[in-house]
Amino acid sequence: MEIPMNSKSLWHENDKRHSFPILQDHISTDVTIIGAGTTGITSAYLLAKQGIKVTLIEAGKILDGTTGYTTAKVTSQHGPIYQDLLHDFGKNNAKLYYEANEEALTFIRKTVKEQNIECDLSSENALLYTTNEKNITKLIDEEKAYKTLGIDGGIVNLGSDLPFRVVKALMMRDQLQFNPVKFFAGLIPTILKNGGRIFEHTRASHVKDKNIPSVKTTAGHTIKSNYVLVSSHFPFNDQDGLYFSRLHVERSYCLAVKTRKNPPRDMYLSIDHPSRSLRYAKSETGESLLLVGGEGHKSGKNYGKTTEHYERLKQYTEENFGVEAIPFRWSAQDLKTLDNIPYIGPISSGKDNVLVATGYGKWGMSNGVAAAMILSDRLMGKKNRYSDLFDPRRSEKKKTNAATFLKENMDVGKEFIGGKLHRPNKDVDQLSIDEGAIVHYNGNKVGAYKDSKGELHLVETTCPHMGCDTSWNDAERSWDCPCHGSRFSYTGEILEGPAVKPLKQAKKDK
Ligand SMILES: Cc1cc2nc3c(=O)[nH]c(=O)nc-3n(C[C@H](O)[C@H](O)[C@H](O)COP(=O)(O)OP(=O)(O)OC[C@H]3O[C@@H](n4cnc5c(N)ncnc54)[C@H](O)[C@@H]3O)c2cc1C
Ligand code: FES
C-alpha cells in the first residue's frame, strides 16, 4: 500500500496521444491558439469546424497541463457558490454562470455522441456534503439559492453510498464525469481534418498586438494571425492586463485507490475543512478505483514536505474505505480570479484581437469548455449572452475586488522579501539521495537536488518571471514559485508558466 514514488495521473495510464512536430518556420494563420489543454483544444475544434484556419502551439506535449491531472468531474456544482453569486452579482448573473456551465455539459454529451469518442463519459449526480453540524446552514442556504435559480437539485438523504456519517448533503442532478485526456484527444482528428495545425514543444514567449498580432516563440519563430487566443492556463504574457496581480494559484493532490469498500456511485465534495473530493473511475484493465482529492494550498508554499499531503489523503482513505493498492498519485494547480468568476475575453482594454481564458477555480472541465464556446462565438462575430459576465476587463475597474487584490499582492511582496532573506540550513554534502534543498555551496546559496545515482543538480532558485525565490517540492521533485506558481524541474526546465525562461544553472565544481 505504498504511495507511488513518481507522480502519474490515471488519465495518462494508457497513453495513446498523438505526437506533433516542433514549429521550425515563420508562418501565418487565421487564429493562433497558445496552450493545448481543455480551453485550447476545444477552441481549436470549434473554430476549425467552422472553416477557420487555426494553429495550436503547445509548450510541452498536448494535455500535459492541468487538464491531464484533474479529477474530471464535469459539473455546474462548483462548491456552495450560488448563494455567493446571488449576493455578489444578482440573480441574472448567477443564473448566467449556471447556464454557461450547463451548456458546456450539453456540448460534451453531444460531442461524445457525434464524434464517437470513447472517454468513459457517465451521468452522475454531484453532491456537496458535510459531516459537521456547524456547516448545515451553508447547505440549506445553498439549497435556497438552487430554488431561486431553478437548479435541478436539493437536500437529499444519502442512504449508504458513503461509508461514514453525513449530516447533510445537497445534490445537483444529472452531471457528468469522464476521462479528460481521452475526451479532448478525441477532438484532435476533427481539428486536423479541417486544416488545423498543431505544434508541440513550441513555447510562446511574446505577443505583439499590432493590427496583425504576432506570436514569437522561444526558438525565435513568428506566427502572424488575425487573432491570438491565450489558453496557456496562467497567461504567459501576464503584463498585459496585469494578470500576475489578479490570479491566485492553488495546488492540490489526488490518489487513485483500489479500496476494500466499494467506491461511491455519485461525485462528492465535502464543504468541511479539510475538504475531500471523491469520485469513482475505472482503470484501463476495468478495475474500480476511488479518486480521492484535497489538501489544497497556495502553490509554492510547500511548508515542509509536500509528500505529507499524499500521506494525509492515504490515511483518510484507509480510515474510511480501506486501502488495497494505490496505483496512481498526482498533484496539479489551478487559478482563482479576484471575484471567483473566470476571465474570458479580450486580454485588456483596447486589445480586442488578443483573447484570454483563465481562472476556472478548479472547475475548468465545464468553465474551460464554456470559455471555448464564448471565445469562438466572439471570433465568428456571433453574439454570446455570457460574454459580459466573464469579460476580464471587469476587474480592471471593480472596487469590490480591492481587498482580495491587496491581500494577494501583499503576499507576493512578503514572498519576494522573505525568499531573499532565507538562509540555507544545510551544506550541499549533507544532502541524502533523492533530497532537494536550498544549500550552501562554495559560499553561495543554491538550489540542489541529489538524484538516485548520487549526481548533484544545482540551480539558482530565483524565478525568472518576477524574481521571487522558488522552494523545493519533494513530492514532484520540482522548484515551485510561491508568487505566481511557475514551476521548474530539478534541472531547471520550465514545467509550468507564467515563466517563459528556465532557472539558471548554478556553477558546479569540476
Ligand atoms: C487537482 C485538481 C483537480 C481538479 N479537478 C477538477 C474537476 O474535477 N472538475 C473540473 O471541472 N475542474 C477540475 N480542476 C480544474 C481543471 O482541471 C482546470 O481548470 C483545467 O484543466 C484548466 O485547463 P486549461 O486549458 O486552462 O489549462 P491546461 O490544461 O493547463 O492547459 C494549458 C496548456 O498551455 C501550455 N502552455 C503554458 N504556457 C505556454 C506557452 N508559453 N506557450 C505554449 N504553451 C503553453 C501548457 O503546457 C498546457 O498544456 C482541477 C484542478 C486541479 C488542480
Ligand atoms: S512565478 Fe512570478 S515570480 Fe515566480
**In CATH, what number does 27-70+182-246+340-397 get?**
3.50.50.60
Q: Which three cell numbers stand for residue 264?
A: 461511491
- Encode the chain (510 residues) as per-residue pLDDT tens digits: 799 999 999 999 988 888 999 999 999 999 999 999 999 999 999 999 999 999 999 999 999 999 999 999 999 999 999 999 999 999 999 999 999 999 999 999 999 999 999 999 999 999 999 999 999 999 999 999 999 999 999 999 887 789 999 999 999 999 999 999 999 999 999 999 999 999 999 999 999 977 789 999 999 999 999 999 999 999 998 888 899 999 999 999 999 999 999 999 999 999 999 999 999 999 999 999 999 999 999 999 877 689 999 999 999 999 999 999 999 999 999 999 999 999 999 999 988 999 999 999 999 999 999 999 999 999 999 999 999 999 999 865 554 566 666 666 666 666 666 666 677 778 889 999 999 999 999 888 999 999 999 999 999 999 999 999 999 999 999 999 999 999 999 999 999 989 999 999 998 776
Indicate the helix (H) or strand (E) that contains 176: strand 168-177
Same fold, 27-70+182-246+340-397 and 399-510: no
CA angle 398, 404, 407 (to 5 degrees): 135
Distance 141 CA to ligand 1 centre (A): 31
Distance 299 CA to ligand 1 centre (A): 14
Q: DSSP letter string over 280-308?
A: EEE-TT--EEEEEEEEEEETT---S-THH
Ligand nearest to the CA of 483: 2
Note the pTM of the prediction, 2 decimals.
0.96
Distance 149 CA to ligand 1 centre (A): 29
Ligand nearest to the CA of 495: 1
The number of the ligand 2 atom at minimal distance from the alpha carbon of 486 is 1
Distance 418 CA to ligand 2 centre (A): 14
Q: Where are the domains of the chain?
A: 27-70+182-246+340-397, 399-510
CATH topology of domain 399-510: Rieske Iron-sulfur Protein (2.102.10)
Nearest CA to ligand 1 atom 2: 70
Q: Nearest CA to 320 among 278, 380, 364?
A: 278
Distance 184 CA to ligand 1 centre (A): 12
Pocket of ligand 2 (CB under 6 A): 463, 465-468, 481, 483-486, 498-499
The residues pairing with 334 across neighbouring beta strands, listed in sequence order, are 250
Ligand nearest to the CA of 234: 1
Ligand nearest to the CA of 237: 1
Distance 350 CA to ligand 2 centre (A): 26
Nearest CA to ligand 1 atom 33: 35
